[in-house]
Structure 1
Amino acid sequence: MRIKDQQRRPRTRRIEIRHPDKRIPSYLDANEPASRSRVRRPVKRWEGLEEASKLAQVVVLRHGGHARPVINRGQRHLRSRMSSRKTGLQQVIEGRGHRDFAMWNEVNPHVIDFEAHPFHFIVHVNGKRVAYYPDHVRLLRDGTIELIEVKRTPADLDDEDYRQKLGVVAEVARRCGWVFRILYHADITGPKWRMRNVEAIYSRRYMIVTREEQDAISQFVARGAPATWAALRDAVAPDDTRRGNAVLENAVALGRIGIELDDRITDDTEVTPLPPVAHRNQIRL
């Protein structure tokens, strides 16, 4: 009964602006609370009221596409497209850091949904109307929505006007109940084993598994207790170690089980069951 009472208590969400560069100005207004109800479609109910109360504008094409063409010629960044099983969409990516981050989101079991180049903001900076194109938006398992700017190094933030724009966007995101973050490529690739694990698991996301293998994973998730990699592998494929490793990597990619992606996967790696989470397309505007 005590557990049920704790589950019924409303969760308080603390929204913080998290980025590593202290040069970005803070426009935090403590009198403005964070609320996701601020993000809403324009309603022509009272003439002029929408424009007077609008903090910023999010531009999304009606068919869900991109207002800014990402794949084009004559640019210095790497261009690629990724077929995402997690989102069911084709992710359009520019830059090596974007590609690595999209792969990480695709196989990270704590990321429920994500999109690269999802929309663009129109904000006012120093009295000027400017556009901002976020690199990624993602929804985490705990319900946090992160708006992410990917950069190669801190040198990419040397422009003062650009830093001011990011500061305004960070405060707009906070008021919307989102978390604004800046990630450098080194933050994305992380420790030595992260991208090795990500690439291995990424290659398994479309793997075909048998009904018996699916049932073994489902039983593990239903029990709700962690186990070692070797124990779960032997339960899934008792007579085939390679096959068992591949099935577990597929289960990680599909968000059914969780592991620490920054560490080397061994027989003693702890595997945690992850029950399904309903997210109601919170980042699909």
Structure 2
Amino acid sequence: MLCEPMTFVISGTGASFDYTPDFLVERADGVRVVTEAKVNECALRDPEYRRRLGIVAEVCRRLGWIFQVVLEDEVFDNRFHQRNCELVASHRFIRVGPSEISRLARLSDPLTSYGELAKLLAPHCKAAGRAIAHALHVRRYVEIDLKHWLQDLTPVRVLNTMRKTPPNNDHRENTFPRPLTLEHSLD
């Protein structure tokens, strides 16, 4: 799952607009699912906003993608899951450089724990290690089980340490892959 992965630039619909979805998921069968997440149905009351979502849904249909709007209570399994996702998202722009990736690559087993990973990433500051672990989760270097209370024994799986490391501290460069702009005219 990628957060805010692209921007749709829509024109020819009576009014031009840009739209950035909340998530993009590529399923195992290759189908892409574009998702807009909302707290509740009140966020969908504006007719112009609903019209724009309808246009984006049509663009997705033409691309062979699925577009969906999900409400908060449909996304999270429980309050821990919601809290953990918000916490991890808040650390998405933490700098991750070659030294952190190198430390991650030193793990001999792709399965580790949240506490061990935090200690490996920042030996002198557990809070910093956790923040870096969260950034690595967002960038898909590791997978942290976010459905339960995060504790030192929470399972973590290392996904990939062979990817190119970010060249600088710019958050757009640190987010993989780079955001994509899709320009589409419905005329």
TM-score of the two chains, using structure 1 as the length reference: 0.42
Distance 1:230 1:178, change over 3 A: same
Say yes or no: does 1:257 pair with 2:142: yes
What is residue 173 of structure 2 aligned with on the other side?
none
Contact 1:153-1:185 within 8 A present in 2 as well: no
Give the CA RMSD over aligned residues: 4.2
Give the counterpart letter for 2:85 in structure 1.
V
**Which fold has the larger relative contact order, with Cα–Cα distance below 8 Å and residues 6 or more apart in sequence?**
2
Aligned pairs (5 A) from 1:116-265: 118-120=8-10, 136=21, 138-140=23-25, 142=27, 144-151=31-38, 152-153=40-41, 156=44, 166=54, 170=57, 173-188=60-75, 191-208=78-95, 212-220=99-107, 225-265=110-150
What SS does the corresponding residue of 2:103 show, helix, strand or coil? helix
Give the counterpart of 2:158 among 259, 268, 273.
Answer: 273
Distance 2:56 2:43 in 1: 19
What SS does the corresponding residue of 1:230 show, helix, strand or coil? helix
Count of matched residue pairs: 164
Which has the greater radius of gyration? 1
Aligned pairs (5 A) from 1:35-114: 110-111=1-2, 114=5
| CA deviation after TM superposition for structure 1 residue 181, in Å | 0.6
Structure 1 alignment gaps of length 5 or more: 1-109, 124-128
What SS does the corresponding residue of 1:180 show, helix, strand or coil? strand
Distance 1:194 1:121, change over 3 A: farther
Partner deviation per Cα, 1:98-123 (whole Å, 9 max, x = no partner): xxxxxxxxxxxx3165246x333767
Distance 1:232 1:135 in 2: 32
TM-score of the two chains, using structure 2 as the length reference: 0.59
Distance 2:74 2:142 in 1: 24
Distance 1:284 1:169 in 2: 11
| CA deviation after TM superposition for structure 1 residue 192, in Å | 0.8
What is residue 172 of structure 2 aligned with on the other side?
none
Contact 1:112-1:140 within 8 A present in 2 as well: no
Give the counterpart letter for 2:133 in structure 1.
L
Distance 2:62 2:17 in 1: 17
